[in-house]
Structure 1
Amino acid sequence: MADKHLSTQFDSELNTVSGRVMAMGGHAEAQIRQAIFALAQFSVEAADEVIEIEAKVNALEIEIDRELSSIIARRQPTARDLRLLIAISKATANLERVGDEACKMARMVKAIIESGTARTLPTSDLRVAAELASALLRKSLDAFARLDTAAALSILKEDDLIDAEFDGFVRKLITYMMEDPRTISSSLDLLFLAKAIERIGDHAKNIAEVIIYIVKGEDVRHASMSDIESAVG
C-alpha cells in the first residue's frame, strides 16, 4: 500500500512536470508563429513579441529543472524512472533552444526591416521552411505527450525536408546576391534566419529521439535510419 502511495505521488509529480513541458512547448510554438508572421508582414511589433515570450520559456526551463532535481533527490527513482526524468530534462533543453532560435529569427527580421530592403528580398521560400519547422515541433510535442515512437520515427524522416529546403534556399540566395550585390548585407541576415529555422527542425528531431529513448531505452542519436527503425521495431 505504501509503495502504491509513493507510486501515485510520483505519477502525480510527473504529470505536473509534463504539463509544464507542454506549456513551455506552447510558448515556443507561439514564438515561431510570431516570427513567421513578423517575416511575412515585416512587422517590428511581432518580432518584439517573440523576444518578450522568451522570458516565459526561460522561466519554465528553470522551474522544470528545479522540480526534476527535487524529484530525483526525494524519490530516488529506479533506473527506468531516472531515464524518464533525464529524457524530460533533455526535451526541456531543446525547447529552450527553440526559443533562442526564434529570438534570433526575430532579431534578423528587425535587422532586415531596418535595412530598408525588406520588400525586395526572396522571403516566401523561407516562410515555407519556417512553417515546416513549426509543424515538426508541434508533431514532436504531440508525440512526446503520447510517447508515440511511430510518430517519433516519422518526425526523424521529415526533418530531411527542412534540410532540403535550407539547401535550396542557400543556393537561391547566393544567386540573388550575385545578381544584386547591394543586397548582400540583408541577404546574409536572411541566411542566418534560414539557419535558425533549420536548427528548430533539428531540435524537434532531438525531441523525437528522446521519445524513443524513453520508451525503448535506446539512444538513437547519430544512428542510421535503418538502426532507428530496428530500435522502434
Structure 2
Amino acid sequence: MKKHMFIVLILLAAIQSVPAQDIFQQKLYAPELVLKYRDEAGLSSDQVEKIKTLYNGVLTGYNNKKWDLDAAMVKLEQLIAVPNVDTKAANAQLEKCLALETEIKKMRLSMLISIKNLLTPSQQSKLDAHKDEPIPESAITTSLNDNQRVVVRVRPGPEAGSTKPLYVIVRGDTRKTADDMPADINPDDIESIEVLKGESATSVYGKWGENGVIIVKLKKKTP
C-alpha cells in the first residue's frame, strides 16, 4: 500500500511545480496569525470582525472540497493498485484530484488576499515579525502548496504511534475495519467513499477514529 501511495505522489509531483518556500505564506497573512496578534498590530474591532467573517465564510466550503479531495485520492490509489492499470481511468481520476486541489487553493488565496487588503502597511509590518511562527496543523491557510491529502492518507490507526486512518469496508450488512485499504478490492466494486474527520469520526468510532476514518462502501454482490 505504501508503494502505491508513493506512486500517487510521483504522479502529482510530475505535473506540479512547488517552490521550497511557500511564497504565499511569506507575502500574505493567515487569519490565525492576524487574530492572535490583533492588539500588537493595532487592529480595530471592525477589522477583527471582518477577518472572522472571511474565515468563517470559507471554512465550510473548504472542508467540503477537502473531504472530496481525500476521497478522490483514495479512488486514484485504488485505480493504480491493480496489476493491470486502466490508464484512461487513472488519468481521469488524477484530473479530478487536481481540479479539486486547484479549487481549494483558489479559495485559500482569495481569502488571504482579502485579509491582507484589510490591513494597513503599518499593521502588516508588525505582523511580519511573527511570520516564521508555526501555524496549527488544523489551520486551513497554513500553506497554499501543502499536500494535506497525504496527511489524511497516512494518518494513524488505533495502535499507539501509528500514522494511518481507520478504514471501514462496508458491503450490505457487513462492516469490517482495517488499518490499510485491502489490496484485493476491485475499484469497479466501489459504490462510494466517505471521509470522516474530527468529532464526526470519534463520535462514531471513538479513539479508533481519532486520526480520521475512510468508509468504503462496496456494491452488493449479485446472486
Q: TM-score, normalised by structure 2?
A: 0.30
Whose helix proportion is higher, 1 or 2? 1
- The higher relative CO (CA closer than 8 Å, separation ≥ 6) is in 1
Q: TM-score, normalised by structure 1?
A: 0.29
